[in-house]
């Protein structure tokens, strides 16, 4: 009887510890899956200078002529982490990227990290959006453009 009184609490503790450990392990796996799914859903693409040169325009070798390298129209968002209006624009662009998934690219360029691109395009105000249609010259907009205006621009300029 005395042994049973000593062993029974140990069994309960062991069961409690193993069940909590399994739950934490399962939560970690679920959390990892959620993060993977969220990153897959996020369709806004952050570009480095090297990626920009390969996917958008090779301004290093041909600075005089604009030649878009992409296979779909695009929006370039020149931003900085400290910019309040850039932060307001980010969720709007993410929504539009999901809404127009497969039809356009939405790229983000951090002007603090990718100074070479910002200098090449003469970016002075943030946020600056560059709209790149397939067969026309790019158009520029500065400031936080409302979502309904962005949709009009996408539909009339990029997807016409």
Q: What is the pLDDT of residues 2-31, one digit of tens each?
A: 554 555 444 444 444 444 444 444 454 555
Domain 44-158 falls under CATH 3.40.30.10: yes
**Whole-number pLDDT of residue 98:** 96
Q: Are strands 128-132 and 139-142 parallel, antiparallel or unpaired?
A: antiparallel
How far is 41 from 19, CA to CA, in rounded Å? 33
Sequence-distant (6+) residues with CB within 8 A of 158 are: 73, 74, 75, 104, 131, 132, 133
User: Which of 56, 86, 106, 123 is an active site residue?
Assistant: 86
Q: Domain residue spans in the chain?
A: 1-41, 44-158
Cβ–Cβ < 8 Å for 80, 89: no
**Whole-number pLDDT of residue 160:** 87
- Active-site annotation holds for 20: no
pLDDT in tens, 48-102: 999 999 999 999 988 788 899 999 999 999 999 999 999 999 999 999 999 999 9
Averaged pLDDT, 142-160: 96
Averaged pLDDT, 116-140: 95
User: Which of 76, 83, 130, 132 is an active site residue?
Assistant: 83
**Whole-number pLDDT of residue 63:** 76
pLDDT in tens, 104-124: 999 999 999 999 999 999 999
Helix segments in the chain, DSSP class H: 2-41, 49-55, 84-99, 115-120, 147-153
Cβ–Cβ < 8 Å for 90, 122: no
């Amino acid at each position: 009887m005395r042994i049973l009184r000593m062993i029974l609490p140990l069994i309960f503790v062991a069961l409690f510890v193993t069940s909590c450990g399994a739950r934490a392990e399962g939560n970690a796996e679920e959390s990892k899956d959620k993060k993977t799914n969220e990153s897959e859903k996020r369709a806004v693409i952050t570009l480095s200078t090297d990626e920009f040169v390969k996917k958008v325009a090779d301004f290093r070798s041909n600075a005089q002529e604009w030649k878009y390298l992409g296979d779909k129209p695009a929006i370039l968002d020149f931003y900085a982490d400290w910019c309040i209006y850039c932060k307001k624009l980010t969720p709007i662009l993410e929504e539009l990227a999901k809404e127009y998934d497969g039809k356009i690219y939405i790229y983000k360029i951090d002007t603090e990290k990718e100074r070479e691109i910002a200098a090449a395009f003469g970016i002075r105000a943030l946020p600056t959006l560059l709209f790149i249609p397939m067969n026309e010259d790019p158009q520029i907009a500065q400031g936080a453009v409302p979502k309904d205006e962005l949709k009009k621009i996408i539909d009339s300029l990029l997807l016409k």
